[in-house]
């Protein structure tokens, strides 16, 4: 294909991906109510526990605040719902330039990264109520908790995104191993750094007083890290055997 044909194809793929996001966003707008109900459950639990002691409420600070938040939620949900379509458009555009081996590896990486990302998002959503509840315990007697709706949504969204991205780091380690940038031994030899980073990440993602959740996230991250290191070492071993078999000294007459 000529450069002009490549640009036309890229434009077509981008238009299809953008249309899919818009359609999914419109559909997602109608499910923002149950989603908002789900993520605000900790606030209602706090309000029920504190009873008459103090108000625990979600508030909007502008006239259009509720609508603006629904639009933000619809875009985020629509972007995720349309992911299979726009990921396929990206894949279909770059696929002709790949070898069969590269195609197989790319499919494998995507197949591993997508479930891990959503598993990380689910973990963030599961630990979120504990974080909200724990932070509310620092309120003084008689104090009210008035959570700004946009700030609260940002907190939940960023927590889920943060943990989701952390879960796919091992996939990138494997990709670097495939590219020859990192060996399995190099990944494993950095286990002390991995432990430190995992602990720091877990401490940032969870409240300091929630030790159980901190250890849980740290443990999950370390299991994924050592699994990636083990798989990288296995791949290195296979490549070494294949190289030895193809070397002149390994050939048999």
According to the model, what pLDDT value does residue 91 have? 78
Supply the pLDDT for residue 165: 83
Distances from the Cα of 120 to the Cαs of 31, 86, 99, 176, 222, in angstroms? 22, 21, 31, 21, 14
Rounded Cα distance between 41 and 72, Å, is 19
Supply 233's token pair.
């070492």
pLDDT in tens, 208-249: 666 777 888 888 889 988 988 898 888 888 888 887 777 665
- State both tokens at 232: 């990288």
Please state the rounded mean pLDDT for residues 164-182.
Answer: 82
Q: How far is CA 4 from CA 8, 10, 11, 15, 20, in A?
A: 6, 10, 11, 16, 24
User: Is a pLDDT exceeding 60 seen at residue 92?
Assistant: yes
CA angle centred on 153, ends 172 and 51, rounded to 5°:
130
Q: What is the pLDDT of residues 37-77, one digit of tens each?
A: 998 888 888 888 776 656 778 888 888 888 999 999 999 89
- The rounded mean pLDDT for the chain is 83
**pLDDT at residue number 26:** 94
The pLDDT score that the predictor gives to residue 70 is 92
What DSSP letter does each residue of 172-210 carry, written as one string? HHHHHHHTTSS-HHHHHHTHHHHHHHHHHHHHHHS-TT-
Q: Is the pLDDT of residue 253 over 50?
A: no
Q: What pTM does this model have?
A: 0.75
């Amino acid at each position: 294909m000529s450069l002009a044909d490549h640009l036309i194809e890229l434009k077509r793929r981008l238009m299809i991906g953008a249309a899919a996001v818009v359609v999914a966003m419109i559909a997602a707008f109608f499910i923002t109510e149950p989603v908002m109900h789900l993520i605000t459950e900790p606030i209602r639990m706090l309000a029920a526990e504190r009873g008459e002691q103090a108000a625990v409420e979600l508030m909007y600070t502008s006239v259009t605040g509720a609508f603006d938040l629904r639009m933000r939620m619809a875009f985020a949900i629509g972007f995720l719902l349309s992911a299979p379509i726009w990921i396929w458009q990206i894949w279909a555009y770059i696929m002709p330039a790949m070898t069969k081996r590269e195609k197989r590896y790319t499919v494998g990486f995507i197949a591993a990264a997508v479930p891990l990302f959503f598993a990380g998002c689910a973990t963030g959503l599961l630990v979120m109520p504990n974080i909200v509840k724990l932070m509310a315990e620092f309120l003084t007697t008689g104090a009210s908790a008035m959570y700004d709706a946009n700030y609260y949504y940002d907190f939940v969204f960023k927590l889920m995104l943060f943990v989701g991205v952390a879960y796919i780091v091992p996939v990138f380690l494997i990709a670097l191993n495939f590219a020859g940038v990192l060996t399995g031994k190099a990944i494993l030899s950095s286990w002390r750094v991995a432990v430190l980073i995992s602990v720091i990440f877990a401490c940032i993602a969870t409240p300091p007083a929630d030790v159980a959740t901190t250890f849980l996230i740290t443990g999950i991250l370390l299991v994924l890290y050592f699994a990636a290191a083990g798989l990288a070492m296995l791949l290195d071993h296979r490549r070494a055997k294949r190289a030895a078999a193809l070397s002149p000294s390994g050939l048999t007459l």
